């Protein structure tokens, strides 16, 4: 029946004296145009129906997932599958007199069908990714890497299907030929393979999340992770520049992730005061009495001074020399002062490590290191707190007879020595 219908024009042209070849081509042209117009009409009708259904579902649905499906054209791609299937079925009718052309058209429509299927899968995954990013549970997950992994497998399956359609062969023969060229393929796709393995390891081990602050000195990255894909990790530095890091570098090189600090109760302050060794000395009784005016260490000095005096008297220590027996030093008292000062500072987390330690002396002097944690972890506030602490400590040093180390300046080096007996002319 179909053969009779699709050859009506052909038979009519023959009756009018048109040659068989010309009649066949004209018949093909008319049938092809008619099929395309019919497919366009079906596409329009199906799209209208799907769009109406999509709008109604979006209004009734409690979630906005369908909005992302529409935004990524999933219903539009689905609507085009129907006219494509119609054209696929119409090939034997349209190419009734052109068997070879029909075979080519048949393969072409099959390939287009595979491509549209891949587009639907891609749009579906992208819609799912954008929807999940609105959920707090998935906001910091590397969803882009997962989507890219899925799409790699989807494209591999799609390309294999297209290869089978074009060559009329089997997948097993393709894999046999692929094995012989595996070394070249591995070389070409080395970065992609490394990125795939790295993405899986980064995700499983939870090494990096979107929003993490990382420092990667090798690549000059110091900022927040804004995107994690199969091949790259994008970091927005604090100067608003963007640094792109290969994903596999996260497992092959060393970098610092500040997430632990951000999730903890404070941010570490670790900075020394370099004290000049020449300013360190024993404290006399008068020095102790003067320092008792400092409220933070008054109880400590009263208690400690009494114990030292009792110890020296019980052991008959000759205090004609300050070095004999037990003594207080200005640097030791200052260290206690710093400890008390940090202990009462409102911006220091008292529940975390807090200590003032003396490090190994060096050519510059004796480092007195403050090791504490600020309660406020925000960068600008953290810097303000640390500056506030050291402003006070630097200003407090002279009250203990201590000096901070400084390299001599050119003015001091070039200044002529003072002559107590200047010559007069």
In whole angstroms, what is the distance from residue 296 CA to residue 283 CA?
18
Q: Look at residue 371 in the predicted model and tell me its pLDDT.
A: 95
Same-domain status, 64 and 128 = yes
Same-domain status, 157 and 45 = yes
Handedness of CA 380, 383, 389, 390 (dihedral sign): negative
Range with the lowest mean pLDDT among 132-146, 200-214, 247-261? 132-146
Q: Would you say residue 48 lies in a domain?
A: yes
Q: Name the token pair of 245.
A: 């890091």
HSE-CB of 317 using CA atoms within 13 angstroms: 16
pLDDT mean over 347-376: 93
Residue 62 has pLDDT above 60, yes or no: yes
User: Which of 146, 168, 190 corresponds to the end of one domain?
Assistant: 168
CATH number assigned to the domain comprising residue 245: 2.30.30.60
Q: Would you say residue 179 lies in a domain?
A: no
Q: How does pLDDT run across 218-246, given as a tens digit for each residue?
A: 999 999 999 888 778 999 998 899 999 98
Same-domain status, 157 and 24 = yes
Q: What are phi and psi of 234, to 5 degrees?
A: -100, 130
Q: Would you say residue 125 lies in a domain?
A: yes
Same-domain status, 20 and 84 = yes
Residue 5 has pLDDT above 70, yes or no: no
Q: Give the total residue count for the chain.
A: 425
Q: Name the token pair of 109.
A: 């429509």
Same-domain status, 24 and 36 = yes
In whole angstroms, what is the distance from residue 332 CA to residue 275 CA?
12
In whole angstroms, what is the distance from residue 304 CA to residue 312 CA?
12
Q: Look at residue 413 in the predicted model and tell me its pLDDT.
A: 56
In whole angstroms, what is the distance from residue 357 CA to residue 395 CA?
19
Query: Into how many domains does the chain fold?
Result: 3
CA–CA distances in Å: residue 375 to residues 212, 350, 393: 20, 8, 19
pLDDT tier for residue 168 given thresholds of 50, 70 and 90? confident
Q: Name the token pair of 37.
A: 């117009």
Which residue range forms the structural domain that includes residue 160? Answer: 8-168
Q: What are phi and psi of 396, to 5 degrees?
A: -80, -20
Same-domain status, 25 and 52 = yes
Q: Would you say residue 362 lies in a domain?
A: yes
Q: Would you say residue 210 lies in a domain?
A: yes
Q: Would you say residue 193 lies in a domain?
A: no
Same-domain status, 33 and 160 = yes
SS3 395: helix
Q: How does pLDDT run across 373-420, given as a tens digit for each residue?
A: 999 988 899 999 999 999 999 999 999 999 999 887 655 555 565 555
Same-domain status, 21 and 157 = yes
Same-domain status, 252 and 326 = no
Rg for the chain, CA atoms, rounded:
41
E-strand stretches of 217-299:
221-228, 232-237, 242-246, 256-257, 267-275
**Nearest to 107, CA basis, from 174, 35, 165:** 165
User: Which of 263, 284, 310 corresponds to the end of one domain?
Assistant: 263
pTM of the model: 0.55
Q: Look at residue 2 in the predicted model and tell me its pLDDT.
A: 46
Q: Look at residue 231 in the predicted model and tell me its pLDDT.
A: 78
pLDDT tier for residue 30 given thresholds of 50, 70 and 90? confident
Q: Would you say residue 44 lies in a domain?
A: yes
Between these two residues, 45 and 337, which has the higher pLDDT value?
337
Q: Are 296 and 255 in contact (CB under 8 A)?
A: no
Q: Would you say residue 135 lies in a domain?
A: yes
Task: Classify residue 378 as left (phi > 0), alpha (psi -120 to 50) or beta.
Answer: beta
Q: Are 294 and 399 in contact (CB under 8 A)?
A: yes
Hunting for tokens 């004999």 — which residue is that? 324
In whole angstroms, what is the distance from residue 337 CA to residue 174 CA?
78
pLDDT mean over 189-202: 73
- DSSP lists the bridge partners of residue 408 as none
Please give the mean pLDDT across all residues of the chain: 81
């Amino acid at each position: 029946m179909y053969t009779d219908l699709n050859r009506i024009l052909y038979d009519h042209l023959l009756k009018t004296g048109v040659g068989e070849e010309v009649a066949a081509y004209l018949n093909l042209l008319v049938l092809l145009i008619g099929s395309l117009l019919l497919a366009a009409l079906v596409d329009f009708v199906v799209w209208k129906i799907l769009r109406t259904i999509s709008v109604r579902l979006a209004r009734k649905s409690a979630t906005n997932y369908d909005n992302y499906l529409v935004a990524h054209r999933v219903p539009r791609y689905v609507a085009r599958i129907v006219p494509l299937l119609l054209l696929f079925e119409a090939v034997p009718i349209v190419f009734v007199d052109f068997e070879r052309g029909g075979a080519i058209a048949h393969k072409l429509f099959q390939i287009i069908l595979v491509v549209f299927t891949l587009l639907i899968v891609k749009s579906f995954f992208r819609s799912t990714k954008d929807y999940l990013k609105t959920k707090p549970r998935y906001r910091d997950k590397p969803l882009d890497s997962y989507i890219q992994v899925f799409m790699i497998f989807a494209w591999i399956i799609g390309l294999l299907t297209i290869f089978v359609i074009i060559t009329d062969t089997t997948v097993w023969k393709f894999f046999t030929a692929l094995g012989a060229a595996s070394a070249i393929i591995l070389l070409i796709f080395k970065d992609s393979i490394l990125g795939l393995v790295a993405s899986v390891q980064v995700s499983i081990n939870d090494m990096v999340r979107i929003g993490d602050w990382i420092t990667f000195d090798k690549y000059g990255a110091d900022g927040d992770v804004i995107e994690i894909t199969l091949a790259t990790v994008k970091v927005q530095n604090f100067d608003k520049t963007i640094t792109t890091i290969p994903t596999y570098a996260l497992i092959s090189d060393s970098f610092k992730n500040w997430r632990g600090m951000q999730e903890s109760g404070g941010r570490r302050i670790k900075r020394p005061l370099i004290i000049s060794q020449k300013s360190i000395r024993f404290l006399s009784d008068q020095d102790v009495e003067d320092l008792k005016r400092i409220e933070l260490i008054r109880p400590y000095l009263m208690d400690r001074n009494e114990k030292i005096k009792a110890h020296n008297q019980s052991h008959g220590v000759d205090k004609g020399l300050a070095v004999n027996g037990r003594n207080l030093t200005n640097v030791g008292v200052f260290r206690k002062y710093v400890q008390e000062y940090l202990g009462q500072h409102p911006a220091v987390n008292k529940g975390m490590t807090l200590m003032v330690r003396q490090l190994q002396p060096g050519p510059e002097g004796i480092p007195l290191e403050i090791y504490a944690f600020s309660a406020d972890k925000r960068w600008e506030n953290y810097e303000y707190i640390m500056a506030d602490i050291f402003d006070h400590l630097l200003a407090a040093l002279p009250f203990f007879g201590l000096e901070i180390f400084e390299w001599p300046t050119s003015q001091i080096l070039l200044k002529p020595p003072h002559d107590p007996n200047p010559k007069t002319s």
